[in-house]
């Protein structure tokens, strides 16, 4: 059950800072595409994504888009950003995370997994040994995605409580 609880819970990717990642020794980020960086209906990245990616890169954090979607969808999106990607990743299987870490040339404890799904991004990232950052999905208005969110709420809440407790402990 603990593999379903994220290390961090954020409203969006824009709340994830290079300073937070550095605090945990993170040198690379595996970031989900659909629902995390853009709606699954957006063919190209919103204007706000490129500066976010640049901020990570400027801080020395490698970025790899890590998606279960097909190569055409992910490739078109990533080409506009100039970032490498792994498509058809088969998250949450461990082999997918190992392949992505190898592509970055990093160990899993140097990687953060950022995504909007508990049962793929968080579960897989935790099992692989990465720092996990859950972000609220951009696609909650779609029926099936909202239904999935209802199943994930308990684990998101547990992650928020652990994050708050850790923050309180750090201040003392």
Tens digit of each residue's pLDDT (9 = 90 or more) over 56-94: 999 999 999 999 999 999 999 999 999 999 999 999 999
Q: Minimal CA–CA distance to 70: which of 37, 50, 102, 43?
A: 43
- Token duo for residue 160: 């928020």
- Token duo for residue 13: 């990717």
Q: How far apart are CA 75 and CA 130, in angstroms?
A: 24
**For residue range 2-31, what is the model confidence (pLDDT) as tens digits?**
899 999 999 999 999 999 999 999 999 999
- Cα–Cα distance list, 120 to 46, 53, 77, 114, 164 (Å): 24, 22, 20, 11, 23
Hey, which residues does 66 pair with through a beta bridge?
86
- Token duo for residue 33: 């595409």
> How many distinct helices (H) and strands (E) make up the chain?
6, 6
Q: How many residues does the chain have?
A: 172
Q: What's the rounded mean pLDDT across residues 31-51?
A: 92
Whose structure tokens read 């990743």? Answer: 89
**For residue range 89-126, what is the model confidence (pLDDT) as tens digits?**
999 999 999 999 999 999 999 999 999 999 999 999 99
* pTM, 2 dp: 0.91
């Amino acid at each position: 059950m603990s593999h379903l609880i994220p290390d961090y819970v954020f409203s969006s990717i824009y709340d994830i800072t290079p300073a937070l990642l550095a605090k945990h020794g993170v040198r690379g980020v595996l970031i989900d595409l659909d629902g995390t960086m853009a709606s699954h209906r957006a063919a190209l990245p919103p204007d706000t994504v490129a500066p976010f990616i640049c901020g990570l890169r400027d801080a020395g954090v490698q970025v790899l888009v890590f998606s279960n979607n097909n190569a055409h969808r992910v490739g078109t999106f990533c080409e506009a950003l100039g970032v490498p990607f792994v498509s058809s990743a088969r998250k949450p299987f461990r082999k997918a995370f190992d392949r992505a870490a190898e592509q970055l040339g990093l160990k899993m404890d140097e990687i953060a997994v950022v995504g909007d799904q508990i049962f793929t991004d968080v579960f897989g990232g935790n099992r692989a040994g990465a720092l996990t950052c859950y972000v609220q999905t951009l696609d909650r208005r779609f029926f099936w995605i909202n239904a999935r969110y209802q199943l994930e709420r308990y684990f998101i809440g547990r992650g928020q409580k652990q994050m708050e407790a850790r923050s309180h402990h750090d201040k003392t």
